[in-house]
């Protein structure tokens, strides 16, 4: 479900100091971690790191980077790696997940990437199934199986 009335912001080195980064540790108790993440993002932007978020004070965002610059060990040559993708609370079910993921797919096509890669818990797997993904078991944990999911640009 696409919602074209919504506006999204891409963070850059020029605007990140005044923008909200939607992080789980954005409250005052974690201000040091929040600032450290902003500094880390500034260093990653030249590597192609993208942080796109809803123009609202909400946890509605997606972060991705060419897989060779991913902060987790992944072998996904010529893919974009989604590092974090979050649509929370009242914002679920309004097309934000669709819009954000479509924007990454469009970027992957423009950059002539093979597709997208991400690591998700099994709870989120149904969201990705509509994109005809290939999922492989990656880690078996005590509570959940974590999946490595690849979305090829040819499938979307």
> What pLDDT was estimated at residue 154?
59
Question: What tens digit of pLDDT does each residue of 23-46 get?
Answer: 655 566 677 777 888 899 999 999
pTM of the model: 0.80
Alpha helix locations (H) across 1-156? Answer: 31-44, 96-110, 125-129
Q: Which of 89-93, 108-112, 115-119, 149-153 has the highest mean pLDDT?
A: 108-112
Return the residue matching tokens 């123009």. Answer: 55
Q: How far is CA 141 from the centre of its chain?
A: 22
Rounded to an integer, the average pLDDT of 147-154 is 60
The ranges assigned to domains in the chain are 8-152
Task: Extract the tokens encoding 97.
Answer: 């997940």
Task: Scan for tokens 């990653």, then name that residue.
Answer: 44
Q: Report the topology of domain 8-152.
A: Aminopeptidase (3.40.630)
């Amino acid at each position: 479900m696409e919602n074209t009335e919504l506006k999204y912001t891409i963070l850059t080195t020029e605007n990140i100091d005044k923008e909200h980064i939607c992080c789980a540790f954005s409250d005052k108790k974690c201000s040091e971690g929040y600032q450290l993440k902003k500094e880390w993002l500034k260093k990653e932007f030249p590597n192609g790191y993208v942080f796109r978020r809803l123009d609202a004070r909400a946890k509605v965002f997606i972060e991705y980077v060419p897989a060779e610059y991913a902060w987790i060990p992944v072998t996904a040559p010529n893919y974009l790696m989604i590092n974090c993708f979050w649509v929370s609370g009242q914002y679920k079910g309004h097309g934000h997940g669709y819009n954000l993921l479509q924007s990454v797919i469009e970027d992957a096509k423009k950059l002539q990437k093979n597709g997208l890669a991400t690591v998700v818990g099994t709870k989120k797997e149904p969201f990705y199934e509509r994109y005809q993904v290939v999922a492989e078991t990656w880690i078996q944990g005590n509570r959940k199986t974590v999946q490595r999911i690849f979305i090829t640009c040819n499938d979307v």
